Amino acid sequence: MQARFDHTLPRRAECAPLPLRTAVGIASAGRPATLQQTIRYLTTMQATPVRTIVCVPDIDDAGSLSSSPGVELIVGRRGLTCQRNAIIRAAAPDTDIVVFLDDDFVPAPDFMARMADVFARQEDVVIATGEVLADGILGRGLNMAEALTIIEGAGERAELVTDVYNAYGCNMVVRLAPVLEQALTFDEELPLYGWLEDVDFSRTIARHGRSVKVAGAVGVHLGVKSGRQPGLRLGYSQVANPAYLMRKGTMTSARAIAQISRNMLANLRGVLIADRSVDRLGRLRGNIVAMRDLLAGNASPSRVLEFSSSSTKPLPSTPANRSAS
């Protein structure tokens, strides 16, 4: 069903143009209604970006956006990292910063302006993330009306820029100059949902400047449940991806072990208390398969491509399946 917006969205407030050439980049798949709702909301920003670039793996994933003025729609290879790389290629070279947003992230009206100002004033900042007031991914999920109420209730917040280990992928602002100069990309070995791609990219680009959090640049992550990976795939990624990043050097061993342990314990607890908000049993099964592969020395993020998108069990690990990944 097409979402209705007019009675809930704030009116756009006029203000000065952004100090940097800014593009919003959204990678989306399988959630056209959510994507269209977010794009519609972005037109209410106090200062709108120069460009809005949306990358989908199939034109049907964009819904009616294919005929929307002001939206640059591109079709790229399926997978968050692949689609974000396609956005970078589309944005270069006449863009200063790219605001990567999840298709279900709702920024406050002044989010773009605050972020652009930080990047304009502090030239050593290469990646930034905002302040998430509420994250629906941690529970049942939120809707647009709830998000707007939360943002309005937060009021005006003071700006505070602090260094952080990594940006949060649902709202991640990237300075494009070092990306192009150093030929940096999102790691396409992290397929599909790209679990922890934000950590990997943050630590890679942080070699060329500062990674910061901008408190005061706020938003809400709806955590829409549709279009996400089945539990088995995500569970596998929760173990295999941290192990991969540890070998790669973009995640310390202590962080990787803590991440894996935290995920497995959360899934085990969810199974024991019959948590039905997410597929805890599927995730736990994925954790176990990944741990088995890790102990055998053949764990790989791309292994999730061998799993059926609807099954709770992995496909047999045959040579043919291995080559397909």
pLDDT, tens digit, 9 for 90 and up, residues 145-163:
999 999 999 988 889 999 9
- Asked if the model's pLDDT at residue 284 lies above 60, the reply is yes
Please report the pLDDT score of residue 225 as a whole number.
Answer: 74
- Extract the tokens encoding 248: 């790669």
Q: What is the pLDDT of residue 275?
A: 84
Question: pTM, whole model, 2 decimals?
Answer: 0.87
CB 271 within 8 A of CB 280: yes
| Average pLDDT along the chain | 88
d(C-alpha 319, C-alpha 104), whole Å: 38
Q: Which domains does the chain have, with CATH numbers?
A: 22-221 (3.90.550.10), 231-310 (no CATH)
Predicted local confidence at residue 323, as pLDDT: 29
Burial-class residue 191 by CB neighbours within 10 Å (0-12, 13-18, 19+): buried
Over residues 130-155, the mean pLDDT reads: 93
